[in-house]
Amino acid sequence: MPPTILLSAHDLEQLLEPRALLADLRAALIAYALPGALPGQRAHSPIPASAPHSVMMVFPGLVPGIPAYTVKINAKRPTATPSVRGLVALFDLETGAPLAVMDSIVITRLRTALVGALAADAMARPDVSTVAVLGAGVQGRAQLRALALVRRLQSVHVYDIHPERAATLIGEMRSELGIEMSVAANVEDAVRGADLVVAATWAQSPIIFRNMINSGTHITAIGADEPGKAELDADLIRSSRFVCDDAALAVSMGALAGAGLGADAIHATLGEVLAGRQPGRMNDREVTIFGSVGLPCQDLPAAWMAYQRAAAAPESTFAFHPA
């Protein structure tokens, strides 16, 4: 039996290649939209005596064609830095043998951002140039990096309830991306004139409303991934083309739950759009929304890529332990 590989966050930064992972995630989402796919199950429980929306979660992940499965154990704490911590365990699909145990932060950050980029590539106008980022945390940064893989950006406006965090993001990323960046005073100022809006917040009630958004804008909303969180107003969703990663989860704990809407607000899943079975956008004036909660099938391609590359490296490169 091969030894179990232990991979740190630093290891994963070296092993994961974002552009290659884009293609793997596209294939996983298309497979997830097929009849008979395993639903994006999760078990979660509040963490007692902590801040609102602090939860611990377990995600099992399967993807057709990958001979392994993942189980991710995460804790989310809004007041902590980083706000998400945990582990991903990778197992052989045939035998159940543990192949690897790895940090979950890099995987969760990267796969969430790349799925956002896949949605933007399929749904946003080709001429997107101005981006608004709401929430200057880990995902605000990651989504910008991922977007730069699929669109040529010219300017970014960043808003955070703590302005110093927005300024820090800009200080870190302006030279990296080589584009104009500025701090916005509020949500409305940030989204005014934006072609694409990224919402990655801990908001508990809507912060983006229909009258703020220009025709033709695309919105990637990832903050509402647990019951009791909300970023988008119901009127905005109703008047837009709304696409989600999972219909049932969007209604029970995602953007639709936060707005008090049901499944009738969903036009398609992202897998259906990527497969070409549903349109991501009908015209250049339509407002489009991708509402994401995150799926276990998004963890597995990243974990499998990291494991394969680590297993092919010299044994002294990474930590190996007897199974």
Compute the distance between CA of residue 266 and CA of residue 291 in angstroms, rounded to an integer.
10
CATH classification code of 4-108+296-321: 3.30.1780.10
Domain segments of the chain: what residues? 4-108+296-321, 116-291
Q: With a threshold of 0.85, does the pTM exceed it?
A: yes
| Of 53 and 276, more confident | 276
Structural domain 116-291, CATH architecture = 3-Layer(aba) Sandwich (3.40)
Task: Identify the band that residue 45 occupies on the pLDDT scale cut at 50, 70 and 90.
Answer: confident
Of the chain, the percentage scoring pLDDT greater than 90 comes to 80
If you average pLDDT over residues 305-320, what whole number do you get?
Answer: 86
- Are 4-108+296-321 and 116-291 equal in CATH topology? no
Beta strands in 43-106 (DSSP E): 43-46, 55-61, 68-76, 84-92, 98-103
Compute the distance between CA of residue 298 and CA of residue 277 in angstroms, rounded to an integer.
20
Amino acid 53: pLDDT: 61
Q: How many angstroms separate the Cα of 312 from the Cα of each of 85, 103, 153, 318?
A: 27, 19, 36, 11
Q: What pLDDT digit, counting tens, does each position of 174-223 carry?
A: 999 999 999 999 999 999 999 999 999 999 999 999 999 999 999 999 99
Beta carbons of 107 and 299 less than 8 angstroms apart: yes
If you average pLDDT over residues 273-294, what whole number do you get?
Answer: 97
Q: What pLDDT digit, counting tens, does each position of 239-282 carry?
A: 999 999 999 999 999 999 999 999 999 999 999 999 999 999 99
Task: Identify the band that residue 125 occupies on the pLDDT scale cut at 50, 70 and 90.
Answer: very high
HSE toward the beta carbon, residue 253, CA cutoff 13 A: 15
Amino acid 187: pLDDT: 98
How buried is 155 (Cβ within 10 angstroms: 0-12 exposed, 13-18 middle, 19+ buried)?
middle
Compute the distance between CA of residue 119 and CA of residue 116 in angstroms, rounded to an integer.
5
Beta carbons of 4 and 101 less than 8 angstroms apart: yes
Centre a 10 Å sphere on the Cβ of residue 282 and count the other Cβ atoms it contains. 10
